[in-house]
Amino acid sequence: MTGLPASLEALASARQERPATLPEATEALRRAARDDARVLFLGGGTELTLGAPPAGVEVVLGTERLSRIVEHAPLDQIVTVEAGVRLGALQETLAASGQMLALDPPWAAQATLGGLVATNAFGPRRTRYGSIRDLIIGISIVRADGTEARGGGKVVKNVAGFDLPKLMVGSLGTLGLIATVTFRLHPRPESAGTVRFPDLDAEAVRRVVLALREGQLEPGAVAALVHEGGDDLGVRFDGRFELGVRFEGFEAGVRQQTTKLLDLATRQGWGAERLGADAARDFWARHDLAREAPAGFRAKLAAQPMELERVANAAMGSLFTALEHARAVSYPLLGLAFVSGEVRGPGQVVAAVNAAREALADGSVVLHGAPAEVRAGVDVWGPAPAALPLMRAVKERLDPERRLAPGRFVGGL
């Protein structure tokens, strides 16, 4: 995604700051504080439409020049990067040491590590390795007043002080500038193998999930794709998924687990196949496309894993009916899914979002992108969380003048 979405065009006229060092970033925020200016942090711009459009931004602080890999200690399996380092470039560097950051969100070539932390982005590997909060071990931030502060450290195990790194995960630039981040790393798997289930309904996907657990299988990535909807409004979601289960690690383990899953599938009549290298690449490329394809509307659905049928019928179904070119990806072990598409009738999409929220009352439906007409009808974040007063108090303590991306976050924070 390049260029600013229509709702953010006003940003182009804001003052642009592009610090190349941490002291420069600190100075830029002090300057903004002196000018009483409202600031938006900009990384790779891949999730700019997440949240409400921030109000009255006067300074855009881009992190693209904060692009140093500060320290990679292969023996300690940690890396410290400046916020503007792009994930794709980082992975290339790490690969030379046989390591990786176990994070595979969309738009990896473009997305910056600071932005990924701020948006809590993830991909299919989360199934095995957890999300950014499970990988981040240290952070340095610059507060709205220009104060630089650190939390965590560069050792994997550390309980000294409050876990500021986790507080910053998903905070969307509303608590401070993420300046540098330290992550724990993992060895790159020696081999990988994908088993594909071409055609399952939600109930069958749910049973595969249980069978994986029951069989003590430990997949590295699991994703269920939904076939692309047609061009006309009103194409119904048929409730069927194409499921991919990838095993990673040492070859002996991959082979054993792949075989075990295929045996299980045969016994249950689930019609699974072991994919060759090309076919596996193709499946995961289609997964990536479903996450990355340009779309005016994106939503993230969260529910308990066993609620997949309800997610499919009530949430995905209604959204597919309202969208054109709808696509969806579900991570069935996590209970998380993404739906995207183009909006023709905003009223129908608003109704579909409301229906999805009603169906997933214990979960959430967050809009990562939506045209203004849809935003006018629903809060992109959904109902206020029970802990909103505490969140507001945290915001007030760290950014009392509300100058960092004001209004973008949950509850107007």
Q: Shortest approach of another protein to residue 306 CB, angstroms?
A: 5
Comparison of 15 and 133: residue with beta carbon closer to another protein: 133
- Decide: 254 and 192 in contact? Cβ < 8 Å: yes
45 in helix, strand or coil?
A: coil
Provide the pairing of β-strand 148-152 with 297-302.
unpaired
User: What residues numbered 326-385 form the site for another protein, per CB under 8 A?
Assistant: 334-336, 362-364, 366, 379, 381-382, 384-385
Which structure tokens are listed for 229?
């909807």
# residues contacting another protein (CB under 8 A) = 99
| Cβ at position 278, least distance to another protein in Å | 25
Among residues 69, 89, 72, which one has the least CA distance to residue 81? 69
Residue type at 394 in one-letter notation: V
Q: Are 305 and 209 in contact (CB under 8 A)?
A: yes
Q: How many whole angstroms separate alpha carbon 381 and alpha carbon 109?
A: 27
Determine contact, residues 261/245, Cβ cutoff 8 Å.
yes
Nearer CB in complex with another protein: 30/392: 392
Interface positions, 246-275, toward another protein (CB under 8 A): 249-250, 252-253, 255-257, 260
> Of the candidates 210, 277, 285, 372, which one interacts with another protein according to CB under 8 A?
210
Q: Looking at 10-18, 85-93, 277-285, 389-397, which segment touches another protein (CB under 8 A)?
A: 389-397
Site string for another protein, 1-40 (x = CB under 8 A): ----------------------------------------
If the CB atoms of residues 93 and 120 are measured against another protein, the closer one turns out to be 120
Decide whether 62 or 319 has the Cβ nearer to another protein: 319
Segment lying near another protein (by CB under 8 A), choices 105-113, 160-168, 289-297, 345-353: 160-168
Separation of first and last alpha carbons in the chain: 25
Question: Which residues ranging from 37 to 96 are in contact with another protein (CB under 8 A)?
Answer: 52, 55-56, 73-78
Using the structure block, give the residue that is written with the tokens 């075990």.
260
Distance CA 49, CA 52 (A): 8
Single-letter residue type at 242: E
